[in-house]
Structure 1
């Protein structure tokens, strides 16, 4: 997947690493070295070096020495999944991402996503702006997303697209489709989550720098490259600044740039009539990610930190044991979610490992827990007959019984017992094949 430019950088980074595609008779299961999966400083340096050598990265470097300037790009994913056939460009509907709406990918995952993005930047941006145009509000005032034509537009955009290829993140449990900007699970059927590339950030009512939506960040980047602060004039409010009107969902959206090359600052304003540095309609801007630097992190910050530490740990330590978590009855109930249960189990085992395992034991290998949702795709012939004879007045009770007690009866039945066993075995085989593919793909992405 890597182009020749990045390939040469990764291969010549210091270690004699054979390319998998050049090995005749290569067996991906037998010849993978655990060191290839580690998030070591040398491997991180290879990704950083690959990004630095990309021609597309040069335009994102800091051009000034201002404290508001930087070139650290971070990637985020939305906590709330997208609706079926909802375009990623339709959210967020505000220019600044909500503080608790998005999680940050770990450093290694962000580097991997950025390296892959820079290799196909023109193609990905062209597709992204095409999708964004489908979500924009037209002259008639009717927005595409949420209308009756949204499904048609989604199908039209992806009608000719083949199976998507994702960049592995979060220890290989998820992949990111950079074309659609989706984060999706690898081993189970789940919803797509919006992925956002954070390049410009705003500080809104706190110490955290929150990413701006890509369309607003692109306009600010254009103004930055033109160094608009050199064309400052006196504004009606009395400020000596360069005003840039921005296209966004909020009326009167604009940015003001002040200062010189090494001292420039920028603000985002949501009111076209007035501008006040002390008012609530103005937020400070910066280019490139920066930590809040707070001595007392909030609960969201602590959760974000733990999430990144877990992802970094999964990248540092190879998988030594693969465990399929198989559910029993009740998975068809509305509030039953095996994925969340396995996530809780994974966090509990991580806490126990911190207390009872030595640093050497934790750094040698880790356990990968994968939920086996064998019941989700299994349709038994007897279920449709039960649904047809169920009265409306007892439908809720019947659904509860069908999702719990009936599964026991189905398994004890000679007619459906083998169907259940086949579904479990097929789920095992499918997930194991995905596991071998993901491990090879991670190595291939890092070193080829």
Structure 2
């Protein structure tokens, strides 16, 4: 019996490297979306001047239960709500959008009139019913993206659906406005950082290779998004 170990017949088989896992787009689940409302009273005149990247101090965040309820109601009528939202944005850009029926803080007459006619009007138009928030003291019209009190006159507040966020300071994340977030989402969904798309560039600050994407922003300085990977992006 030979003292040497016997080798298997033929050349040793080399294991092929595992193929790189292909990235697949996965939409956010309802509990990953966060909803906010602006602290300042709603003003139709001020709609065009809202910054596309809000200041953290300008917003309040809904609790998880309210945020989930808003998102579920939003998804139940998403196509209709999206259409109304973009129609509103187009009207605002043209300077033609008006919202004269929002009750003023001390306007009991307008508040009572709106309360008496809100349900029939919503039913006639086929719009979704308002979503109760903040223990039922307020309700949100998702079609108009406005939060109003249920039992007393008070200025309405604009609400914001948070899907993309920017880190304005260390640990300070703020949601992008819908118009900007939709553009970022479109680039993300198309995986612009994929080398085969030929969009990667080298940047010195921050030092990375990323795909540069121009964002359409009305009335503000131009913005760009840099996508380095599915997990790293800069604004």
Whether 2:204 is the aligned partner of 1:255: answer: no
1:418-440 per-position Cα deviation (integer Å, ceiling 9, x unaligned): xxxxxxxxxxxxxxxxxxxxxxx
In structure 2, list runs of 5 or more residues that go unmatched.
1-24, 101-119
Q: 1:99 Cα shift?
A: 1.0
**Corresponding residue SS for 2:73:** helix
Runs ≥4 residues deviating over 6 A: none
Q: 1:206 Cα shift?
A: 3.0
Structure with more of its chain in helix, by fraction: 1
**Corresponding residue SS for 2:40:** strand
Match of 2:35 among 58, 72, 75: 75
**Contact 2:139/2:149, CA 8 A, preserved across alignment:** yes
**Corresponding residue SS for 1:171:** coil
Aligned-partner Cα distance in 2 for 1:193–1:242: 37
1:226-261 per-position Cα deviation (integer Å, ceiling 9, x unaligned): 1111034224757421011101132221100003x5
Pairwise mapping of residues 306-345 of structure 1 onto structure 2 (< 5 A)? none
1:184-226 per-position Cα deviation (integer Å, ceiling 9, x unaligned): 0000112110000000001102312110010110011111111
Whether 2:201 is the aligned partner of 1:234: answer: yes
Structure with more of its chain in strand, by fraction: 2
Task: Note the aligned Cα RMSD (angstroms).
Answer: 2.6
In structure 1, list runs of 5 or more residues that go unmatched.
1-57, 63-69, 139-143, 156-160, 269-448
**Corresponding residue SS for 2:84:** helix
Aligned-partner Cα distance in 2 for 1:91–1:194: 13
Aligned-partner Cα distance in 2 for 1:246–1:119: 29
- Residue aligning to 1:191: 155
Aligned-partner Cα distance in 2 for 1:110–1:196: 11
**Contact 1:75/1:110, CA 8 A, preserved across alignment:** yes
**Contact 1:97/1:213, CA 8 A, preserved across alignment:** yes
Aligned-partner Cα distance in 2 for 1:93–1:243: 25
- Residue aligning to 1:296: none
**Corresponding residue SS for 1:240:** strand
Pairwise mapping of residues 76-225 of structure 1 onto structure 2 (< 5 A)? 76-83=36-43, 86=44, 90=47, 93-136=50-93, 144=95, 150-151=97-98, 154=99, 162-163=121-122, 165-225=129-189
Pairwise mapping of residues 256-295 of structure 1 onto structure 2 (< 5 A)? 256-259=226-229, 261=230, 264-268=231-235
Aligned-partner Cα distance in 1 for 2:151–2:48: 26
Aligned-partner Cα distance in 1 for 2:37–2:232: 28
TM-score (norm 2): 0.69
